[in-house]
Amino acid sequence: MAGPPGAGKSRMRQQLLDDESAWLRIDPDEFKEALLSQAIADGSYDSFIKPAAIAAAEQAGDPFYPLELSSLVHVESSYLAMRAREEAMREGLNVIIDSVQAWPEAAERLGRELTAAGYTIDVVDVEVPFEVSEARIRGRWRHDYVQALENGDAHHLGGRWVLARQRPVWPAAEQCT
């Protein structure tokens, strides 16, 4: 699954697959949530991950939620997703790789790795105009942030803010090798 944040990759996946149980979905965002949840549970979120400036802003009454700081675990979540993908490929599992795929070189490398491992590859590229992606990112963040505020749950992960950026223009499918 490829496409910008807020494009509708999850909805499209649900429409295309009657039964997702035969697939292992690998999404770095799920690793971000797991890492932050574990950091809250073991205390490292407050003692190590959360920057002092954010802690000071919270003390001044400006609430922040863990997913707003998800960029601080981005490298680790990407690494864990890559390792999960490698292990799934070794085991020959059916995988759904959910990613923005913003960099053609990385997508091509992934395609070569999957092909070398004997996989048949179907790419579902879900695209929306930049303004739609940006509006959906903002709306998703706002919804989750307001929900966290209303629930008053300090351990609620809140909304995840992602940067909307114009993706590079990809060549037409028939031009890709």
Maximum CA pair distance of the chain?
56
Q: Is residue 59 part of a domain?
A: yes
44-101 pLDDT, tens per residue? 999 999 999 999 999 999 888 898 888 899 999 999 999 999 999 999 999 999 888 7
Q: Is residue 51 part of a domain?
A: yes
Q: Is residue 1 part of a domain?
A: no
- The arithmetic mean of pLDDT across residues 115-141, rounded, is 91
Q: Is residue 77 part of a domain?
A: yes
Inform me whether the pLDDT recorded for 143 exceeds 60.
yes
Q: Is residue 125 part of a domain?
A: yes
Which residues sit opposite 97 in a β-bridge? 26
Q: Is residue 21 part of a domain?
A: yes
Token couple for 130: 């930049």
Which residues have C-beta within 8 Å of that of residue 87, sequence separation ≥ 6?
none
Q: How many domains does the chain fold into?
A: 1
Q: Is residue 58 part of a domain?
A: yes
**Residue 161 is part of which domain span?**
9-175
Q: Is residue 61 part of a domain?
A: yes
Q: pTM of the entire structure?
A: 0.81
Confidence of residue 163 (pLDDT cuts 50, 70, 90): low
Integer Cα distance of 24 and 26 in angstroms:
6
